[in-house]
Amino acid sequence: MRLSQIISKFPRFLKAAAALSGTVLLSGCFWLDGPQSTFDPNGPVARRQMDLFYTTCWVSLFIFVVVGAVLAYAMIKFRAKGEADEHAEPPEQAHGNPIVEISLIGASVLALVIIAIPTLSGIWYSYDVPSQDKADAYEITATGYQWWFKFDYPGETAQTLDPTGKIINAPFSTANELVIPAGRPVRIALRTVDVIHSFWIPKLAGKVDMMPNRGNHLWLKSDNPGYYWGQCAEFCGESHAVMRFRVIALGPKEFNDWVNAQVAPARKVASADQTQAKAQFAEYRTFRRNEAGYTSAFDASPLDAWRAKQVPPVTGENPALIQKGRELFSQKTCASCHTIRGDGYIGVVGPELTHVGARSTIAAGLLENNRDQLHRWIHAPNEVKPGNTMWVAGYLANGIKLTPEDEDALVNYLQSLK
């Protein structure tokens, strides 16, 4: 029988399935480099995880093809060939063939061993920084909250004011944007203050759970400076899907500059003769569900957008409006949950905001950090992230109202915090 004859015997859905999977595989080669793709690793841990995936995939594919081929052969060779066959008695039943059975057991064990060796070595490799690199490792602590991430830098100390107004040194933290040195191993301690979260940066490393009352950790390395997406990978409540973060990997000098900028207390805008921003609350848009929270320009080069956020604007800041926002931050009880070092605010329930104006995103990596998105976030946080603390326990739950003028002052204040 010719091959074309055999193929013509296959039911039509088999041909359709083959065509579909071929298309998916081919398209995968071109489209699998999205921001949360594990097929585009940018560091040794993610690369090892992908290699293991491919090993498992090829072994499984080999088994599938061999078993499928034998099955197809048997189906074609022993099919009913005519009227007589269809009413024939079943062939004589026999017990198994010891050689075939032992060979199958041996093949199964071999397949498991082929998968187990790289799996075990991968588990050991990704568990902790390799011992020869330990001395060079940079330490960070990541803590999961419903629904955002806090990042502490225990090796750095920041300037802050004590209650008497004296400058003291204290650890600093940031939120939702993990800034790391590129080309250096980074060891991240994983904690949670509430439920189980899972820490995952698809292009660098993960997933490792953040467990209540248990210390976990992982390590990663970014080969080059870059901008990566992170995501909580364990269901943790109604806004789990929007519990994201961003990772910014920087070269040694740029990373050092960033740390120096972070340890400084909050920026103050001098009332010099600058071009002052007009109040622009009338221009803000309301939030529409499922709308992308960032512009296409930001999406195209987020690292450049992040760099641009580090530099204070030369013009367009309104010191009086910013000062009003600074006062409202306390009057409207924002300060009970947020720390702004240097402005006397020491809340710890929500993210530290000392340099929030220098982040490229807000609302746990969900929205681009610009005036419009920040206004939406302050104006209707529950539209952006259902169930968040500002809504269930913060100023909205306590019936505190913000007028458009208040919101505009707060936006100007927070954007000034470079």
Residues that bind ligand CUA (CB under 6 A): 144, 147, 197, 232, 234-236, 240, 243
* Least distance from ligand CUA to the Cβ atom of residue 236, Å: 3
Of 204 and 305, nearer to ligand CUA (C-beta) is 204
Of 191 and 418, nearer to ligand CUA (C-beta) is 191
Of 54 and 235, nearer to ligand CUA (C-beta) is 235
> Do the strands 158-161 and 167-170 form a parallel or antiparallel pair, or are they unpaired?
antiparallel
How many angstroms from the chain centroid is the CA of residue 375?
A: 24
* Least distance from ligand CUA to the Cβ atom of residue 106, Å: 43
**Distance from C-alpha of 303 to C-alpha of 32, rounded to nearest angstrom:** 20
* Least distance from ligand CUA to the Cβ atom of residue 257, Å: 31
- Beta-bridged to residue 205, according to DSSP, are 201
**Distance from C-alpha of 204 to C-alpha of 35, rounded to nearest angstrom:** 11
**Distance from C-alpha of 391 to C-alpha of 399, rounded to nearest angstrom:** 10
* Least distance from ligand CUA to the Cβ atom of residue 414, Å: 24
* Least distance from ligand CUA to the Cβ atom of residue 393, Å: 18
Of 48 and 197, nearer to ligand CUA (C-beta) is 197
- Six-digit token string for 209: 């759970």
Of 240 and 385, nearer to ligand CUA (C-beta) is 240
* Least distance from ligand CUA to the Cβ atom of residue 16, Å: 37
Of 177 and 234, nearer to ligand CUA (C-beta) is 234
For 31, the enclosing helix (H) or strand (E) is helix 12-31
Which of 221, 185, 192, 220 is closest to 206 using CA atoms?
220
> Exposed, middle or buried by CB within 10 Å (0-12, 13-18, 19+), for 196?
middle
Radius of gyration of the chain (CA): 29
